[in-house]
Amino acid sequence: MAELSREQVAHLAKLARLALSDEELEHYAQQLGVILDSVAKVTEVATADIKPTSHAIEMTNVFREDEIRPSFSSETTSRNAPEWEDERFRVPRILDEE
């Protein structure tokens, strides 16, 4: 059922922000195809009348009260930042806005 082309795998890698080499793309195209063939078996029993399950335990309406709780200090926030400048996380240039 599933044959993944190299282009498809390259597209997935772009969506997932993974810089993969040509060799890796080739490798994953082949490997993902094999895995998908094997997992595609779910379609054999997944008929239209079955309700999908997203949460194993049925619960609804879990809320918290609208109350303020302590936040991090600037120092705590910054503690693991690869780059920190002017109380903010410094990141490389952004090409275009959403």
Partner 1 sequence: MSELISKNAVELAALIHSGEVTSEEVTKVHLDRIDSVDEKVHAFLFVDKENAMASAREVDAAIQSGTIASPLAGVPLALKDVLTMKDVPTTCGSKILQGWKPQYDSTVVARLRSAGIVILGKTNMDEFAMGSSTEYSAYGPTKNPWDLSRIPGGSGGGSAASLAAFEAPLAIGTDTGGSIRQPAAVTGTVGVKPTYGAVSRYGLVALASSLDQAGPCTRSVMDAALLHQAIAGHDPMDSTSINTAMPNVVDAAKNQSIKGMKIGLVKQLGGDGYQVGVRKRFDEVVELLGSLGAEVVEISCPSFEYALAAYYLILPSECSSNLAKFDGMRYGLRVGDDGKHSVEEVMSLSRAEGFGPEVKRRIMLGTFALSSGYYDAYYGSAQKVRTLIAKDFNDAFAQVDVLISPTAPTTAFKIGDKVDDPLAMYLNDVATIPVNLAGNCAMSLPIGLADEDNLPVGLQIMAPVMADDRLYFLGAVIEAALESQWGHRFIDKVPAL
Partner 2 sequence: MNLMAFDEAIEQFDPVMGLEVHVELSTKSKMFCGCRTDFGGHPNTHVCPVCLGLPGALPVVNAKAVESAIRIGLALNCEIAAWCRFARKNYFYPDMPKNFQTSQYDEPLCFNGYLDVDVVTDEGTKTYRIEIERAHMEEDTGKASHQGGQTGRIHGADYSLLDYNRAGIPLIEIVTKPILHTGKDAPLVAKAYVSALRDLLRALDVSDVRMEQGSLRCDVNLSLRKDATSPFGTRSETKNVNSLRSIERAVRFEISRQAAMLDEGKKVIQETRHWHEDTGETTAGRSKEEAEDYRYFPEPDLVPIAPSRDWVEELRNTLPENPAVRRSRLQAEWGISDHDMNSVVSAGALDLVVNTIAAGVSHTAARKWWLGELSRIANDRGVELGELAITPHNLFEIETLIAGGTLNDKLARNVIEGLLNNEGSISTIIQARGLTLVSDDTALLAAIDEALAQAPDVVEKIQQGKLQAAGAIVGAVMKATRGQADAAKVKELLFQKLGVSEE
Nearest Cα neighbor of 38 from 85, 2, 74 is 2
Question: With respect to partner 2, which residue has the nearer C-beta, 22 or 97?
Answer: 97
CA neighbours closer than 13 Å in the CB half-sphere of residue 69: 3
Restricting to residues 44-83, name those near partner 1 by CB under 8 A.
44-47, 50-57, 59, 62, 64, 72, 76-77, 79-83
Q: Which does 23 bind (CB under 5 to 8 A by kind): partner 2, partner 1, none?
A: none
State the DSSP code for 79.
Answer: T
Site for partner 1 (CB under 8 A): how many residues? Answer: 54
Q: Which residues bind partner 1 (CB under 8 A)?
A: 4, 8-9, 12-20, 24, 28, 31-32, 34-36, 38-47, 50-57, 59, 62, 64, 72, 76-77, 79-83, 89, 91-95
